[in-house]
Amino acid sequence: MPAEDPRAGKHLVFRLATEDFAIRVASVQEILGIMEITSVPQTVPSVKGVINLRGRVIPVIDLRLRLGFPAQAYSKQTCIVVIRTRFGDSDRFTGVIVDEVSEVVNIVAGDIQDTPDFGISTPSPYLLGMARTNDKVRILLDIEQVLRSHGPITGQP
C-alpha cells in the first residue's frame, strides 16, 4: 500500500495576479480584510510593516512582492492571511497579503504532481507541487519556506 502524499489535505486557495496558490489550512490562523498597516523603516519592499492584532504586533508581508509579482493597489477583495508557524518552543504569527481568498479545497494525492524542473538557474524550494482541482492548476506553496526567505523570491541565485 503506497504511503499517503504529505502534500494532500485541506488547503486555502488564494489568488495573486492571475495565478491560484494553495497553502495548508493547518498553517492558517485567521483571515482579515485589509487594514491599516504601520510601516517599519529600513525593511525590504515586500515587508509592508506591522499590525496590531488583539494586542499582538505581527509583521505583514505582501506575498505578491515576495514572489516577484508587480505591485498592485489593494482592493475590497485584498486580504491578510495570518499564518502560524513554530519557532523553537513558541508560535510565530505573520500576516501575508493576498489579492483574494477563493476557497478551501481538499486536495487528494492523485491530483498532485511534482513541481516541473525549471532548470538549474531557477531554484524553487518554496514550491511543493502543482494540484489539478476543478479543472484548474493550483500552485502548492510551502508558506514556511516563503516566510523564511529574505526579499523577493525571483529565482535569481
Q: Which domains does the chain have, with CATH numbers?
A: 10-148 (2.40.50.180)
Residue 24, pLDDT score:
95
Q: Which residue has the higher pLDDT, 98 or 6?
A: 98
Residue 118, pLDDT score:
60
Tens of pLDDT along 104-149? 999 998 889 887 766 655 556 788 899 998 888 999 999 998 888 6
Residues 29 and 41: their CA atoms lie apart, in Å, by 27
> Rounded to the nearest 5°, which phi and psi values hold at 132?
-100, 110
Residues 20 and 98: their CA atoms lie apart, in Å, by 11
**Which cell is 37 given?**
498597516
Tens of pLDDT along 30-46? 999 999 999 999 999 99
Mean pLDDT on 49-56 = 95
Mean pLDDT on 14-20 = 95
Tell whether the model's pLDDT for residue 153 goes beyond 60. Answer: no
Name the band, by pLDDT with cuts 50, 70 and 90, for residue 157.
Answer: very low
**Which cell is 36 given?**
491599516
Residue 123, pLDDT score:
53
Residue 154, pLDDT score:
47
Element (DSSP H or E) covering residue 84: strand 79-87
Residue 120, pLDDT score:
58
**Which cell is 85 given?**
508557524
Q: Are 95 and 59 in contact (CB under 8 A)?
A: yes
| CA angle in degrees (0–180, nearest 5) for 87-92-93 | 155
